[in-house]
Amino acid sequence: MTAVASLEEHFEATIERDQRIEPRDWVPEGYRKTMIRQIAQHAHSEIIGMQPEGNWITRAPSLRRKAILLAKVQDEAGHGLYLYSAAATLGADRADLTDKLITGKQKYSSIFNYPTLTFADVGVIGWLVDGAAICNQVPLCRSSYGPYARAMIRICKEESFHQRQGYELLMTMMRGTQQQREMVQEAVNRWWWPSLMMFGPPDADSPNTAQSMAWKVKRHTNDELRQRFVDMSVPQAAALGVTFPDPDLKWNASREHYDFGPVDWDEFKNVLKGNGPCNASRIAHRRRAHDEGAWVREAAVAHAAKNEERK
């Protein structure tokens, strides 16, 4: 047996036994690339994901809401950094990943290319967008790549706060004026379909799923997770007193799931191509923050070098 065949066999056997792959283990090149791409894109999503809600920090309606929102946005930054840290264990360099994000070479989730028009959007993002993220992320806590799985465990614990603060915010608004209730419903109408798109294209159009399932970097198909999210969300919407903008949404007793209407995949593709409402501004904002922070990074290095000399 050749050396590589033996290494590959060891890798496959580790996955087969449901054990984790750890940093510095030999992995096939395809696995390394898949994991770097997945973790980097996830990290970028968390970092860009600070912007839609960060937009409302200075205009939060109370000190309580402002403190909560600050903590949540800080968490998103933290999630991004846990994930860059996980990517680093595969040999990816963080500065290089940042460069790939701000030059548009690597992508982030298309959900963050939608604007937050009212404060109700902050609540709906917590409830639906973070809710959908939790559906995606809980199975990733068992990803075959150890550092990613461990980052996901931390992230999932914190996402639970994100979802609950959003739902509580919406409950508060629903107890308010008629205008506030309309604001919530209007935000739900805008975010529902993009939330369903977060699970990706239908299984029939997801050719990478089979390999990802075999490597145990993905545990459920896109459609399974989307269905799970719809089933969870419908009773939550009822308790809140809002409806989803889908005339085909109804309980199917024979399937024991909710049926729902077709997702507009043309819109999804269009946003991914860069034509969403906020694609350009999100990247421009990230690039500006990076460029304007350059002097701080350089000054800190100079300061550290000077202190080192003094020793």
Partner 1 sequence: MTDLTAEGGHGAVPLEGVPAAPGPVKHDWPLYEVFVRGKRGLNHVHVGSLHAADDRMALHHARDLYTRRNEGVSIWVVRASDITASSPDEKDPFFAPSGDKVYRHPTFYDIPEEVPHI
The set of residues, in sequence order, having a beta carbon less than 8 Å from that of 182 and lying 6+ positions away, is none
Contact 173, 242 (CB under 8 A): no
Closest distance of CB 22 from partner 1, Å? 8
Give me the half-sphere count of Cα atoms (radius 13 Å) on the Cβ side of residue 27. Answer: 23
Task: For partner 1, give the closer residue by CB, 45 or 185.
Answer: 45
Instruction: Report the C-alpha gap between 238 and 226 in whole angstroms.
Output: 19
Q: Per the structure block, which two tokens stand in for 106?
A: 């690597």
Q: Look-up: residue for tokens 């068992």?
A: 142
Closest C-alpha among 198, 52, 49 to residue 121: 52
Closest distance of CB 40 from partner 1, Å? 7
Task: For partner 1, give the closer residue by CB, 75 or 243.
Answer: 75
Task: For partner 1, give the closer residue by CB, 69 or 90.
Answer: 90
Task: For partner 1, give the closer residue by CB, 92 or 124.
Answer: 92
Instruction: Report the C-alpha gap between 268 and 154 in whole angstroms.
Output: 29
Q: What is the phi/psi pair of residue 264, to 5°?
A: -80, 90
Q: What is the phi/psi pair of residue 278, to 5°?
A: -125, 5
Beta bridge partners of residue 21, listed in sequence order: 145
Closest distance of CB 28 from partner 1, Å? 13
The set of residues, in sequence order, having a beta carbon less than 8 Å from that of 297 and lying 6+ positions away, is none
Closest C-alpha among 265, 279, 247, 244 to residue 198: 265
Closest distance of CB 182 from partner 1, Å? 28
Closest distance of CB 174 from partner 1, Å? 26
Q: Per the structure block, which two tokens stand in for 310?
A: 């003094």
Closest distance of CB 176 from partner 1, Å? 30
Closest distance of CB 255 from partner 1, Å? 21
Closest C-alpha among 109, 116, 289 to residue 199: 109
Closest C-alpha among 117, 284, 273, 140 to residue 191: 117
Task: For partner 1, give the closer residue by CB, 36 or 174.
Answer: 36
Task: For partner 1, give the closer residue by CB, 280 or 300.
Answer: 300
Closest distance of CB 30 from partner 1, Å? 10
Task: For partner 1, give the closer residue by CB, 182 or 205.
Answer: 205
Task: For partner 1, give the closer residue by CB, 158 or 231.
Answer: 158
- What single-letter amino acid sits at 179? Q
